[in-house]
Amino acid sequence: MKSSWRTASCTVVSCALVAVCAQLPAAEPGTAPLAIQQVENDAQSAVVRAKVSSEHRAGGTEFRFESVAAPANNDAATKAEFALVDGERDRNGGSLAVLHDGRIPTDEDQPSANFFFQAGTDGGRLRLDLGSVIAVKQVNSYSWHTNTRAPQVYKLYAADGTASGFNAAPRKGTDPESCGWKLVASVDTRPMQGDWGGQHGATVSDPDSDVLGRFRYLLFDISRTESRDAFGNTFFSEIDVIDADGPAPVAATSGEGERIVKSFETEDGKYRFTIDATAAPDLMEWADAKLRPVVLQWYPKIVDMLPSDGFVAATHVTLRFQNDMGGTPAYASAGRISLNSDWFRRELNREARGCVVHELVHVVQDYGRAPRRNPRATPMPGWLVEGIADYIRWFLYEPESKGAEITPRSIERARYDASYRVSANFLDWVVNHHDPEIVRKLNAAAREGKYAEGLWKDWTGKPLQDLGDLWKKHHEARLAETMSRP
């Protein structure tokens, strides 16, 4: 049986004169946080009075505390931009997105649901950009682990971004107070005695006012909790910023919880799509308004462009935002497309839609079926798989963006099989100069496992390498002509 749920430490812990905070002793197990004092910044600026309340529950499951509000899924951090200013993310954990996805881990050791710095390093700095100055009521942070990675040790700085010489990304070694930030609080939830493991929550607020301050930026200067081994970096589960003028908090969901999905279908009812924004609720609005029309129009188009005998494309496609994709923007497998939430947030008005069109092509290509049906299937070279997806994206979906042009800078390394947009450009050239049906034919051959290099010669009269050489010469001549124009 599990030992009963207990509160290991539940007190208002720290809040000190700035000078004292800045000299908090290097984190060592057992050191106690300081007593309550007021935080006063330099006499010129407004006084920031902050109180830090923190709690620790060894057997907690849903971050339910007495003095710290439960994590929310609609607070101001949900839509804030999180950036790593210094330090290295541990890739065994989730990306920064897990800190504000309104979801909390279901288990005490669930790396993918937490953000933590690289093992062996001493923390780092995170910045939140709230998008505009808001009246911040509270800043809440939550963490969960079995032992020394559970407590939180960080300094919280805030800024409205208007100070002259404001540095939005001060790295370690730069005192944020020297470049437009104010130290708001020092948080240290390490229990004075007993086990460190369990759920920790901390709240920074003003003891006398509903507003902690009017801020646009928050900087978390995070330290490891101990340095006796490599595993002193906290498993941060969620960071909430409560807007004094914001909506009433809605509790974050635990684990799978309720899924945030929207389904829609083409007018003829032939194709159905589901967008799953459970991992990134803030992206649903964009997906519904901006992505949905593109998907509805382009998926059927792509299916029509890439027919082959007896082939039926997936009739239900799921597009799902994920927070565990590292640096990969998106990938497709069968009828599922995975979208990297962090990448999409950055690219909403740039590459996001085009990237989905590219992935929709992969769903329609479905070349993985060939080896299952044809024991002697030949593989389609990767550069062509990606080249076709990028050809449809850059030359048919968004030709006006001219994203796959060969430029004086890219011509040097331009090879027909360089994949992605370079190969897309090659395909476009073959379409225009040799065989307007080449993409459809290549696709049909690949889908049946019958791709062979000899097909190029059968269809265009020229071997692939010759086509590649001619294509490159075409661009060299074109660029030479543009350069020589007055």
Binding site for Zn ion (CB under 5 A): 386, 389
H runs (alpha helix) in 434-463: 438-447, 454-460
3-state secondary structure 468-486: HHHHHHHHHHHHHHHHHCC
**Is the Cβ of residue 254 or residue 419 nearer to Zn ion in the bound state?**
419
448 binds Ca ion (CB under 5 A): no
240 binds Ca ion (CB under 5 A): yes
Give the three-state DSSP class for 367: coil
Closest approach, Cβ 362 to Zn ion, in A, equals 6
Q: Give which of Zn ion, Ca ion, none residue 240 binds (C-beta under 5 to 8 Å, depending on kind).
A: Ca ion
Stretch of 70-78, 215-223, 347-355, 427-435 lying at the interface with Ca ion (CB under 5 A): 70-78
Nearest C-alpha neighbor of 142 from the set 167, 178, 113, 119: 113
Element (H, E) at 218: strand 213-222
Cβ proximity to Zn ion: between 366 and 386 the closer is 386
Q: Which amino acid is residue 37, in one-letter code?
A: Q
The residue type found at 141 is S
**Smallest distance from the beta carbon of 448 to Zn ion, in angstroms?**
20
DSSP code string of 152-195: -EEEEEEE-S-STT--SSPPTTS-GGGTT-EEEEEEE---SSS-
Q: Which is nearer to Ca ion, 94 or 102 (CB)?
A: 102
- For the CB of residue 434, give the shortest distance to Zn ion in the complex, in Å: 24
Give bridge partners of residue 14 from the DSSP assignment: 52
Tell me the closest approach of the beta carbon of residue 249 to Ca ion, in angstroms: 9
Torsion sign, CA atoms 344, 346, 349, 354: negative
Pick the stretch among 98-106, 123-131, 283-291, 371-379 that binds Ca ion (CB under 5 A): 98-106
Q: Is residue 90 a contact point for Ca ion (CB under 5 A)?
A: no
List, as one string, the DSSP characters of 16-55: --HHHHTTPPPP-TTPPPPPB------TTSPP---EEEEE
Least separation in angstroms between residue 469's CB and Ca ion is: 56
Q: Which is nearer to Zn ion, 360 or 389 (CB)?
A: 389
Least distance between Ca ion and beta carbon 252 (Å):
6
**HEC string for 125-144:** EEEEEEEEEEEEEEEEEEEE
For Zn ion, the closer CB: 384 or 389? 389
DSSP states of 77-130:
TTTSEEEEEES-B-TTS--GGGGGSSEE-SSTT-GGGSB-BPTTS--EEEEEEE
The nearest distance, CB 53 to Ca ion, in angstroms, is 18
Closer residue to Zn ion (CB): 202 or 389: 389
226 binds, among Ca ion, Zn ion, none (CB under 5 to 8 A by kind): none
- 86 contact choice in Zn ion, Ca ion, none (CB below 5 to 8 Å, kind-dependent): none
Instruction: For Zn ion, give the closer residue by CB, 8 or 330.
Output: 330
Q: How far apart are CA 238 and CA 105, in angstroms?
A: 9
Segment near Ca ion (CB under 5 A); pick from 47-55, 69-77, 293-301, 460-468: 69-77
Written as six digits, the tokens of 417 are: 């099989």
Please report the sign of the dihedral spanned by the C-alpha atoms of residue 102, residue 107, residue 111, residue 117.
positive
User: Considering only CA atoms, which of 67, 81, 60 is closest in space to residue 126?
Assistant: 81
Cβ(95)–Cβ(89) under 8 Å? yes
Q: Which does 337 bind (CB under 5 to 8 A by kind): Zn ion, Ca ion, none?
A: none
Least distance between Ca ion and beta carbon 77 (Å) = 5
Residue 55 CB partners (closer than 8 Å, separation 6+): 7, 9, 10, 65, 66, 67, 68, 189, 200, 201, 202
Site size toward Ca ion (CB under 5 A) is 3
In the complex with Zn ion, the residue whose CB is nearer, 6 or 336, is 336
Q: Which does 33 bind (CB under 5 to 8 A by kind): Zn ion, Ca ion, none?
A: none
**Shortest distance (Å) from residue 137 CB to Ca ion:** 14
Residue of closest CB approach to Ca ion = 240
- Partner whose binding site includes residue 342, from Zn ion, Ca ion, none (CB under 5 to 8 Å by kind): none
As measured in angstroms, the least distance from the Cβ of 366 to Zn ion is 13
- Of 55 and 386, nearer to Zn ion (C-beta) is 386
E strand segments, 244-373: 253-254, 261-265, 272-276, 316-322, 330-333, 336-340
Binding to Ca ion, residues 100-159 (CB under 5 A): 102
Q: Which stretch binds Ca ion (CB under 5 A): 75-83, 339-347, 392-400, 403-411?
A: 75-83
Stretch of 81-89, 238-246, 308-316, 393-401 lying at the interface with Ca ion (CB under 5 A): 238-246
CA 63, distance to chain mean position in Å, is 24
Of 16 and 104, CB closest to Ca ion: 104
Amino acid identity, position 310:
G
Identify which of residues 250 and 261 has a Cβ nearer to Ca ion in the complex. 250
Give the chain's length.
486
Q: How far is the CB of 358 from Zn ion (least distance, A)?
A: 6
Binding site for Ca ion (CB under 5 A): 75, 102, 240
